[in-house]
Structure formats: C-alpha cells, structure tokens
Amino acid sequence: AQRVTQPEKLLSVFKGAPVELKCNYSYSGSPELFWYVQYSRQRLQLLLRHISRESIKGFTADLNKGETSFHLKKPFAQEEDSAMYYCALSGPGNTGKLIFGQGTTLQVKP
Amino acid sequence: DAGVTQSPTHLIKTRGQQVTLRCSPKSGHDTVSWYQQALGQGPQFIFQYYEEEERQRGNFPDRFSGHQFPNYSSELNVNALLLGDSALYLCASSLTGAGNYGYTFGSGTRLTVV
C-alpha cells in the first residue's frame, strides 16, 4: 500500500536550533517525494522535491531508499519557518495523485 | 493572476443534501485535481480532470462526482451528504506535462455537514 507517515504532529524548537521533520513512506516502485508547506492563513505550496536536489529557504531533504525516508532538515531554524509541513509522494510522471502525510506543525520559538 | 480560485469559501449543509463546489484553475493550467482534507489530516486525493474527463480517481464513493468545463474550470459534487464529509476541500490545478511539481493549490472550501 502507498503510504506516507509523519510521526510527529508537533515539533517545537528554539530559533537557531537545527530542525529535522521526519517522513517515511511505503511505495513499490520509484516514487517522487515532495515537501509542501502551509504558512498561517496561506495556501498549501510546494517547498521542494527530491528530484531537483535543491535547497529552498535553507531546507534540504535527501531521499533514502534503503530506509524509505525523506526527512526535511534545516541547520538553523528561523521564526518565519513556523508552519505546517506535509510530506507527499507520487508515482513517476504526472499521475495527478499526491499522497500526503498527516503533517507536522513546526513551531520556532524566539 | 489570481491563481486558483475556489467558491464558496465556507458552506453549511444538512445531512442528506447535495453540494456543489467550484474551482477556477490558474491561468494557463488545463488540469484540475480535488482533495479532501479532514481536520488534523493531510489532503486525500479525490479525482483529477483533464480534457473534461475524469483521468484518475482516489478511494472515494460514487457520491463524489465532478465535471470539467471547456474553460478548464471544474465542479465537485457530493450527493447524500454524511457528517463525515465535513472537511476542507482543496482544488489544485496544473499543466499536463509539467510534472508533479506543477500543482497550484487554492485556499479551499470549508464544508460543514450538520
């Protein structure tokens, strides 16, 4: 079964501390993995995708096929990073179907 | 560009009624996907429309149906509403061929079934 698991509902850190949002997935084949973010009173928006291997707003995520994980990391959290983060997966190509995790609320305290 | 526009923003319906939600895609996009997001959960894929046809469907009953118009806008219809249909309904538009990273989400319609 295709599934995305985000084990933490809430992650609270202080400004300047490292952040790691966990994501594990279950998928037979070669999935595409994404992180979406929703800031307060804003729409869901794409943060990054594994195939581009990019760093957005200081966040990075590495796909670990052996551990079926796609954890989101940032070395120094900022208050403006406070938001809801969703990990999602899809089959290769434009299948139109994203499978989301339950989301993790990141709270960065001053 | 207003991006993806959804209407109405909020809606209250009675159990057993029918509801229609509307979505206008981002300019230049030709594909519309619908998601249901229950409280405290991630979005769940309902279906996707392209060229006025349902291209792919998630695990939702036939009470959920949709339509896409020639101008690419879309409607989501839910019949015989249940209390469990209360959720935020999200529309996402994309351009076929742009890959999975091309989705733009709307702000959603909050449906409450009483």
Nearest C-alpha in A relative to B97: A94
Q: Do A96 and B33 touch (CB under 8 A)?
A: yes
Q: Do B3 and A43 touch (CB under 8 A)?
A: yes
- The H helix count followed by the E strand count for chain A is 0, 11
Return residues 60-89 of B near A (CB < 8 Å). Answer: none
Domain region containing B18: 5-113
Residue A81, phi then psi, degrees to nearest 5: -80, -10
Q: Which of A46, A86, A99 sits opposite B101 (nearest CB)?
A: A46
Q: Say which amino acid occupies A75.
A: P
**Interface probe, candidates B32, B100, B107, chain A, greatest A C-beta count within 10 A:** B100
How many percent of chain B have pLDDT more than 90?
85
CA B38 to each of CA A45, B23, B65, B85: distance values in angstroms, whole numbers, following the listed order: 18, 19, 18, 8
pLDDT < 50 regions, chain A: none
pLDDT digits (tens, 9 = 90+) for A7-35: 999 999 999 999 999 999 998 887 888 99
Q: Which pairs from A45-51 meet CB under 8 Å and 24+ separation?
A: A45/B105, A46/B101, A46/B103, A47/A72, A47/A85, A49/B100, A49/B101
Q: Do A98 and B90 touch (CB under 8 A)?
A: no
The full set of domains in chain A, from first to last, is 3-109 (2.60.40.10)
What is the count of structural domains for chain B?
A: 1
Q: Do B42 and A86 touch (CB under 8 A)?
A: yes
The rounded mean pLDDT for chain A is 90
Distance between CA atoms of residues A74 and A78, nearest Å: 9
A106 interfacial to chain B (CB closer than 8 Å): no
pLDDT digits (tens, 9 = 90+) for B5-23: 999 999 999 999 999 999 9
Q: Which of A9, A46, A103 sits opposite B103 (nearest CB)?
A: A46
pLDDT digits (tens, 9 = 90+) for B41-56: 999 999 999 999 998 8
* Residue B95, pLDDT score: 85
Residue B3 with chain A: CB contacts under 8 Å? 43
CATH number, position B27: 2.60.40.10
pLDDT band per the 50, 70, 90 thresholds, residue B71: very high
